[in-house]
Structure 1
Amino acid sequence: MFAISLGDGAELCPLEPWQAEEFLAHLDRGREYIGRHVGLTDIVTDLDSARAWLQSYADRAAADTGRLYGIRLDELLVGGVMFRVFDANMGNCEAGCWLEPAAAGRGLVTRAARVLIDWAFHERDMHRVEWLVSTENTASINVAKRLGMTHEGTHRENFRYRDVRQSTEVWSVLAAEWRSAPEKG
């Protein structure tokens, strides 16, 4: 399997259905932490649901409508990044992420997201990458800032998560901005 080095013993690699056991174990290690802002932990609760969720992204990759990659630290799966939405015809996509607590604070998501965004703009000629994030998710908002994204606004109480109305910040970067900006950490 290929892997792209993120430095400091970390790498970005495909995350596929045959890795469902490892994926479930990873989510179990970080279930409470990840689940504060990401519904993935409510969807993936056992091996069958892990396999089905990973298969849904394999299907999206085959249809060119989404992508999913794992973040490994010293060969252990600790998180992931994805294109939750990938619309090549419109040139728009939405990136997302999650990370277990033991790996937080190392810049892994920022570095992994940078690889995805570079690929979207340079290889796929996308026009816009969005980052949608709960107003309560400071860590993810900080990733958007480090990536040089622009805060476009906030959808107030637009999403019900665990029976609580959440607000969503919309961040984005356009291809021309990405190509002309100095690399940010």
Structure 2
Amino acid sequence: MYKSVIDTDTYISILEPRHTDELYNLIDSSRESIGKWLAFPTFTNEVQDTKTFIDKSLNRYASNNGYWAGIWHKGKIAGSIGYLYLDWSNYKTEIGYWLGKDFEGLGLATKACNSLIEHAFTDLQLNKVEINVATRNIRSKAIPERLGFTQEGTIRNYELLNGEYLDRNIYGLLKNEWLNNNN
């Protein structure tokens, strides 16, 4: 399956059923930090929930409509990243990502995002990559800003999470912008 080496300590690879226990344990041990900004830990209550998620991701991969990959660092799963969809009519996608609490602040999400951006523009020949981030998630917002994305707007009350409505910033990067910044 797909694997991309980021550096000597880090790579991303498509999540497979054999990763179920390791991924569930990471989610479970980081439930509070992940759940502050994302809803999925609320729905991940047992190993079977993670297996179902991986199976759905593999089906999306097989139908060429996105996928989730694991981010591995020094031999341990550190988090996950993926294309939430592949919009082939408009040649765009959205990247989602999260890290376990012990892997935050190491630059892993930025490096993994950069890898998926390069894949989107070079291999998939997409025209646009989007990243949506909770407006108050300062660390996560720094990633698209660091990678040259433009903030295109804010969706107010995007989702109800932990009893509170969260706004989302929408960031976009066009292929020609990426090419101009990387040549």
* TM-score calculated relative to the size of structure 2: 0.94
In the superposition, relative to structure 1, how do residues 38 and 8 fare at CA in structure 2: closer, same or farther (>3 Å)?
A: farther
Moved over 3 A (4+): none
Give the residue type in structure 1 aligned to 2:142: N
Q: 3-state SS of the aligned residue for 2:105? A: coil
What is aligned with 1:151?
151
Identity within the alignment, %: 26
User: How far apart, CA to CA, are the structure 2 residues paired with 1:138 and 1:182?
Assistant: 25
Instruction: Give, as a single letter, the amino acid of the residue that structure 2 aligns with 1:153.
Output: G
SS in 2 for 1:90: coil
Which residue of structure 2 aligns with residue 54 of structure 1? 54
Gaps of 5+ in 2: none
Residue 39 of structure 1, CA deviation? 1.5
Q: Is the 8 A contact 2:36 2:162 kept in 1?
A: no
Deviation of 1:10 after TM superposition, in Å, equals 1.5
The corresponding residue for 2:21 is 21
Does the residue aligned with 1:105 lie in a helix, a strand or coil?
A: coil
Which 5+ residue runs of structure 1 have no aligned equivalent? none
Quick one: structure 1 residues 2 and 130, their matched pair in 2 at CA, closer, same or farther if it must change by over 3 Å? closer
The AA in structure 1 aligned to 2:93 is C
The answer to whether the Cα contact below 8 Å between 1:4 and 1:13 also exists between their aligned partners in 2 is: yes
Separation in 1, partners of 2:137, 2:63 = 30
- How big is the shift at 1:98? 0.3
The structure-2 alpha-carbon separation of the partners of 1:33 and 1:8, relative to structure 1 and needing over 3 Å to count, comes to farther
Match of 1:93 in 2: 93
CA drift of 1:2 comes to 5.8
Task: Compute the RMSD of aligned alpha carbons.
Answer: 1.5
**Paired AA for residue 96 in structure 2:** G
Q: Report the equivalent of 1:135.
A: 135
How far apart, in 2, do the equivalents of 1:106 and 1:182 lie?
23
Q: Shift of the alpha carbon at 1:8? A: 5.1
Count of residues in correspondence between the two structures: 183
Over residues 123-181 of structure 1, what are the superposed CA-to-partner deviations in whole Å (9 max), with x where a residue is unaligned? 11111111011111111100011111000111111222233111010001001111111
